[in-house]
Amino acid sequence: MIYLELFYTFFIIGIFTFGGGYAMLSLIQNEVVVKHAWLTAHQFTDIVAISQMTPGPIGINSATYVGYTVTGNVFGSALATIAITLPSFIIILTICRIFAKFREGRGFNSIMKILRPVVIGMIAAAAGILVTKENFIDLYSVIIFVAAFVAGQWLKVSPILTIIIAGAVGLLIY
């Protein structure tokens, strides 16, 4: 039963992922944290941190991690990972077959344009939902947040370096 639910959930996430990994976070979070309560907000934040430091797409990373944590075995982990890629498979192969010469992505592009603000809102929500008491335990958390934002936005520090520094700071002050 849990396997079926896991498969279904990640399959749906795969269908509705527009606009890259960060937009996908909002979907995964809504399903995994809010709807099914498979993970807490801070567990989810940890997965994002781990995904940032390891190779591979964030969507795959979270599917693998959530699949394992929820079921406690490799099968669940593989199932979630396959489920999230399956819609892409069906859609891309259909596109390949229908448009042998695939230059007519026009319809897709125009709908992407109108969905872009939604995707931006989704990413903002992904960040907003993670502003919890578990993730922001004191004033230091707020300072780390601001510093990491400045580092990413203006100083163009790589996400990995930011996470490593934040981890070191955590070790020092707590």
Partner 1 sequence: MVKLLLLRRMKNIYADIFTCFAKIGAFTLGGGYAMMPIIQKEVVEKKRWINEEDFMDVIAISQSAPGILAVNISIFIGYRLRGVKGSIVATLGSILPSFVIILLIAMFFTSYSHNETVIKIFQGIRPAVVALIAVPVVNMARSAKLNIYTGALAAATAAAIIFLHVSPIYILLTVGTVYLAAEYIIRRRGGAGK
Provide the minimum distance between the beta carbon of 161 and partner 1 in the complex, in angstroms, as a whole number: 10
- Going 98 to 103 to 104 to 107, the CA torsion angle's sign is positive
Q: Decide if 119 contacts 19 (C-beta within 8 A).
A: yes
Least separation in angstroms between CB 139 and partner 1: 11
Closest CA to 21 of 63, 52, 58: 58
- Closest contact distance (angstroms) between CB of 31 and partner 1 is 8
Among residues 4 and 97, whose Cβ is nearest to partner 1?
97
Least distance to partner 1, CB of residue 1, Å: 21
Q: Which CB atom, from 2 or from 131, has the smaller least distance to partner 1?
A: 131
Contacts of 172 (CB under 8 A, 6+ apart): none
Q: Cα dihedral sign for 93, 95, 99, 105? A: negative
Is 32 within 8 Å of 9 (Cβ atoms)?
yes
Q: Which is nearer to partner 1, 4 or 107 (CB)?
A: 107
Q: Which is nearer to partner 1, 5 or 35 (CB)?
A: 35
CB 83 within 8 A of CB 14: yes
Tokens coding 29: 């979070």
Nearer to partner 1, 2 or 93 (CB): 93
Nearest approach, Cβ of 85 to partner 1 (angstroms)?
Answer: 5
Of 43, 61, 44, whose CA–CA distance to 52 is shortest?
A: 61
